[in-house]
Amino acid sequence: MKTQTKSMQHMLTLEELTPESLSELIHLAKDMKKNPEKYMKQLDGKKVALLFEKASTRTRMSFEVGVIELGGYPLHLDGSTTQIGRGETLEDTIRVMSRYVDALMIRTFEHAKVETLAAAGSIPIINGLTDAHHPCQVLADLLTIDEHFGTRTGKTLCYIGDGNNMAHSLLIGGALSGMNVRIASPKGYEPDASIVERATEIAKVTGGTVSVMKKPFDAAAGADVLYTDVFTSMGQEVEEAERKQAFEGYQVDAIVMGSAVPDAIFLHCLPAHRGEEVTAEVIDGPQSLVFDQAENRLHAQKALLAMLLS
């Protein structure tokens, strides 16, 4: 089944998508979720390498299961036990991989690494999280929002916390969706100004808006979606104590939740730290959709794989 109507070659950031191809991907993900049997031969034996230089539960499992469900073969690789871990260049590695497999999903540190791989190889590269972006997570988030409200356009998403990879991908994905994206971060932890600028440009075209604020309550007021992420991301462990202090007052609790609209939903990419960025009452409460969101990684990524490889 042909699913590709545009020339998306990689998924390094959500800027690989247009508003139209994003809608196409969400539509396909919904159909794959409803009718998985229709797509059992979609990848037709294609092989997808999954390379991890950071820990993962959801990304690893949802990609492995997703590739299998589409009739392909996943190959899990741990960065520390490949020759990359001993200094083989990324360019040589991807040239070799391009001879064995049909696509590479990689979770790594510097975002420039996925760009290098995309430039040097001849297979699609999928960003399974870098320090700067987490596009696959946001595809699942947008699917979850769309399923829940019946639309994404015009909805207000408020992200409270670190201006990190999640904030960046939510900015781009929300802007592509015509959403109103508000980010509330403490001083010194704001999202990257160039990504805010790109999201603002995209939002001008789609009818969305982008705002970066300081106060969580200002950002949460009347929001449809409240979103947060850990204070300390993978690779930042030495900053943990300092970050805990800086993020005081940036917890999503029942009071912050209460300032959103009454039918607002709570999302978190997981893993979560109850009592830090979110209270147990909120994440385990009736407005939380975090496990639907985690499930949707599978469906959204299956749609992505089909669009890249069919």
Annotated active-site positions, please? 107, 134, 137, 229, 269, 297
Q: Is residue 57 within the footprint of ligand CP (CB under 6 A)?
A: yes
Q: Is residue 228 within the footprint of ligand CP (CB under 6 A)?
A: no
Cβ(251)–Cβ(273) below 8 Å: no
Q: Compute φ and ψ for 138, nearest 5 degrees.
A: -75, -30
Cβ(231)–Cβ(244) below 8 Å: yes
Contacts 24+ apart (CB under 8 A), 215-220: 215/184, 216/160, 216/184, 216/249, 216/250, 216/252, 216/256, 217/256, 217/259, 218/184, 219/158, 219/159, 219/160, 219/182, 219/183, 219/184, 220/158, 220/160, 220/184, 220/256, 220/257, 220/259, 220/260
Q: Is residue 166 within the footprint of ligand NVA (CB under 6 A)?
A: yes
Q: Is residue 105 within the footprint of ligand CP (CB under 6 A)?
A: no
Residue 166 contacts which entry, ligand NVA, ligand CP, none (Cβ below 5-8 A, type-dependent): ligand NVA
Query: Quick one: which segment of 43-51, 152-160, 162-170, 176-184 binds ligand NVA (CB under 6 A)?
Result: 162-170
Residue 57 contacts which entry, ligand NVA, ligand CP, none (Cβ below 5-8 A, type-dependent): ligand CP
The span from the CA of 196 to the CA of 211, in Å, is 8
Query: Quick one: which segment of 5-13, 115-123, 226-234, 297-305 binds ligand NVA (CB under 6 A)?
Result: 226-234
The span from the CA of 227 to the CA of 252, in Å, is 8
User: Can you read off the two tokens belonging to residue 213?
Assistant: 């604020």
Handedness of CA 273, 276, 278, 282 (dihedral sign): positive
Touching ligand CP, residues 118-177 (CB under 6 A): 129, 137
Q: Is residue 56 within the footprint of ligand CP (CB under 6 A)?
A: yes
The span from the CA of 206 to the CA of 176, in Å, is 6
x-or-dash string of contact with ligand CP, 58-77, rule CB under 6 A:
xx------------------
Q: Which of 108, 165, 251, 288 binds ligand NVA (CB under 6 A)?
A: 165
Measured from the CB of residue 153, what is the shortest distance to ligand CP in angstroms?
Answer: 25
Q: Is residue 269 within the footprint of ligand NVA (CB under 6 A)?
A: yes
Of 124 and 128, which has the nearer Cβ to ligand NVA?
128
Measured from the CB of residue 54, what is the shortest distance to ligand NVA in angstroms?
Answer: 7
Site residues, ligand NVA (CB under 6 A)? 129, 164-166, 229-230, 233-234, 269
Site residues, ligand CP (CB under 6 A)? 56-59, 129, 137, 269-270
